């Protein structure tokens, strides 16, 4: 797999961005607040020894009902090898996504 800067439209960047989208919906979403992936602005990937593959992303997410778009950065770690360890996601979001409507 490619290491370094990723094409934002490539599968690897989109897959990692979807992990962040699902994390944000689990953390900040509700039946009346749904967040969708709007755009991947940039991404980097690197192999992390003994851990797996780490992605650093700049993305935009869109609140579907209010049509508000926010930019956020995130770090996603996909465990390597035959590991059954869970994915780890650390998004850094701005305050407007964290607040409830």
What pLDDT shows up at residue 90?
76
Domain with 35 in it: what CATH number?
3.10.450.10
Residue 96: pLDDT band by 50, 70, 90 thresholds? low
List C-alpha distances in Å: 8 to 2, 36, 67, 93, 101. 13, 16, 22, 19, 30
pLDDT per position as a tens digit, 18-59: 999 999 999 888 888 999 999 999 999 999 887 788 999 999
Does 79 map to a domain? yes
The number of domains in the chain is 1
Does 41 map to a domain? yes
Does 30 map to a domain? yes
Query: What's the order of all strands across the beta sheet hosting 88-92?
Result: 4-6, 35-48, 52-63, 68-79, 88-92
Helix (H, G, I), strand (E, B) or coil at 89: strand
Model confidence at 95: pLDDT above 60: no
Model confidence at 9: pLDDT above 70: yes
Note down the domain range covering 42: 4-96
Which candidate, 17, 4, 11, places its Cα nearest to that of 72?
17
pLDDT per position as a tens digit, 62-94: 999 889 998 989 999 888 776 677 777 777 765
Does 101 map to a domain? no
Query: Which structure tokens are listed for 91?
Result: 């998004």
């Amino acid at each position: 797999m490619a290491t370094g800067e990723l094409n934002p439209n490539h599968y690897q960047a989109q897959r990692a961005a979807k992990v962040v989208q699902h994390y944000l919906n689990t953390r900040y979403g509700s039946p009346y607040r749904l967040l969708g992936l709007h755009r991947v602005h940039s991404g980097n990937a690197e192999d992390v020894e003994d851990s797996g593959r780490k992605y650093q992303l700049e993305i935009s997410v869109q609140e579907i009902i209010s049509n508000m778009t926010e930019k956020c950065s995130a770090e996603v770690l996909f465990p390597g090898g035959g590991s059954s360890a869970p994915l780890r996601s650390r998004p850094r979001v701005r305050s407007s996504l964290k607040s409830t409507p």
